Amino acid sequence: MKHYKLQAWPDLPAAFHRTAYRRMLHKMSQRYASVQQLMHESGLARTAVVQFLDLLTERQLLTVRDDGVPDSRFGPVSAFQWFRRTFYAEGRL
């Protein structure tokens, strides 16, 4: 699954001045986001989101990551696994 992150804020054509597109840009400016996450954030259909991503890709404004791990506010998943192994295994929680 691909995840997208904005490299620079684009100067958009008038057709993309709607709030839905600005929401997607904001999401991608903060962290990597999948097409599904962008659809949920903007309320747009998949085809509209993909077309918008294609436009940004043509302008070389996106970084694309192919792994299945989205960006997390709480650090890498391995930190949670360590916490679970350490505290639950010893019966501390």
Mean pLDDT of 24-32: 94
Q: Which amino acid is at 89?
A: A
Mean pLDDT of 22-37: 94
pLDDT in tens, 46-66: 999 999 999 999 999 999 998
| pLDDT band at residue 1 under the 50/70/90 scheme | confident
For the chain, counts of helices (H) and of strands (E): 5, 2
Cα torsion 76, 67, 34, 1: sign: negative
| CATH no., domain 3-89 | 1.10.10.10
Q: pTM, whole model, 2 decimals?
A: 0.70
